[in-house]
Amino acid sequence: MNGDELFSRVITTIQEMYLKIGDSYGSVSLYYPFESDDPIEDEFRHAAADFPEMLLERLPQRLRVTVSEKDCVHISKMPVKETIRDMVTITKGGTGIDAVKEYIGSRYPDSKMVKSGYIDFDWILTFPEGLDDDVYCLSEELGRVTYHRFSKEEYLALGFEIPE
């Protein structure tokens, strides 16, 4: 992960948080696994130039990004990736997996949703390259779908394989 990718991840995570729970108060700290010696700070600072209060700290084996309340509000008003908005909307209302599959299949016909071979998740969803490069891991419990969103790098680092 480089500084630009980290900044993008922070933005989409804050946006997703606001879509899921609405307005929030206070700053937010986000933690990302990071064991590299690569100098990520300068690249991140450049990418986050419009957010001077956003802080990046290198901790043992991870990074912490602290986003001020003011920056969170600003980020929540920025345009959100269509796929993230759709995933939050479709899963927020207690939707079952069949409805999710139908909606995603009709809205994103080139997406791939496959049954997971892992106990951790029921379904793995990927979108066409360039539209949304994240991996969505869906689970259905009591007829309600929830999901976790990972970058491909994070997903692979957890020991999972991206389905063909």
Instruction: Provide DSSP, 70-129.
Output: HHHHHHHTSPPPHHHHHHHHHHHT---HHHHHHHHHHH-TT-EEEE-SSTT-SEEEE--T
Contact in structure between 56 and 39 (CB atoms under 8 Å) = no
pLDDT given at position 33: 86
pLDDT given at position 163: 83
pTM: 0.89
Residue 24 has pLDDT above 80, yes or no: no
CA distance 124 to 71: 32
Radius of gyration of the chain from Cα atoms?
17
Per-residue pLDDT reduced to its tens digit, 77-124: 999 999 999 999 999 888 899 999 999 999 999 999 999 988 989 999
Average pLDDT over residues 4-25: 93
Chain center to CA of 129:
15
Per-residue pLDDT reduced to its tens digit, 37-65: 888 999 999 999 999 999 999 999 999 99
β-bridge mates for residue 135, sequence order? 126, 150
Per-residue pLDDT reduced to its tens digit, 110-162: 999 999 988 989 999 999 999 999 999 999 999 999 999 999 988 998 889 88
Contact in structure between 107 and 86 (CB atoms under 8 Å) = yes
